[in-house]
Amino acid sequence: MLQHPDSALVVRPATLFDLPAIDLIQRLCYQPVFHEPVETFAARLRLSPGSSWVAEAGGQVLGYFFTHPWTGEAPPPLGKTLEHLPQHQDTHFLHDLAVHPHARGRGVAPRLIEAALHWGKQRGLKFTRLVAVAGAAPFWRKWGFKPVAAAPAYGDDAALMALSAENQAITTRP
């Protein structure tokens, strides 16, 4: 059973200790075709410590958001372990946001997104990009992201979406 709804929500950087909870949430949230090996999450934490977060309440992880610096429009390959990050980095790539099905609609996603957008802004990355999968594009539109291309490697209905730094400045919480 998930924690009492009144428990305070805390957003903090993800660590390797969170990976079992993260793996469980991804399995509850995505079709098997999108399940990534835990090692791919671990590699992202190693390559870019501090740019991925979990939200927890009462010591229970309710959601996670993995992001990392990247370059250009082409997204990183799905399900593959990243060996290194590009040298020239102009993009904050938002890799994976997921909230436990029993914890949705309680402000978990907005808190994770705000932490991530703040990090990207502090880092001075010019673009914020993501691939909306499984019909999530309308969710991201509310945060100011606009579709810029198809992303067939992530699925037939996947869309590459972008938010420029200028737009981010005026993006308000939906």
Ligand X SMILES: CC(C)(COP(=O)(O)OP(=O)(O)OC[C@H]1O[C@@H](n2cnc3c(N)ncnc32)[C@H](O)[C@@H]1OP(=O)(O)O)[C@@H](O)C(=O)NCCC(=O)NCCS
Beta carbon of residue 103, minimum distance to ligand X (angstroms, whole number): 7
Site size for ligand X (CB under 6 A): 16
Beta carbon of residue 123, minimum distance to ligand X (angstroms, whole number): 21
Contact region with ligand X (CB under 6 A), list: 10-18, 39-47, 67-75, 126-134: 126-134
Nearest to 11 by CA among 92, 65, 69, 67: 65
Which residue stretches of the chain are H helix? 19-29, 38-47, 108-123, 137-141, 165-170
What is the C-alpha to C-alpha distance for residues 92 and 127, in angstroms, rounded to an integer? 6
What is the C-alpha to C-alpha distance for residues 9 and 84, in angstroms, rounded to an integer? 32
Which residue stretches of 74-162 are H helix? 108-123, 137-141
Mark 85-124 with x for binding to ligand X (rule: CB under 6 A) and - for no binding. Answer: ------------xxx----xx--xxx--------------
Closer Cβ to ligand X, 84 or 158, answer by number: 158
Residue 32 as a binder of ligand X (CB under 6 A): the answer is no
Beta carbon of residue 173, minimum distance to ligand X (angstroms, whole number): 9
Alpha-carbon distance values, 6 to 2, 3, 18, 53, 146 (Å): 11, 8, 22, 21, 34
Beta carbon of residue 44, minimum distance to ligand X (angstroms, whole number): 16
Residues that bind ligand X (CB under 6 A): 29, 97-99, 104-105, 108-110, 132-136, 138-139
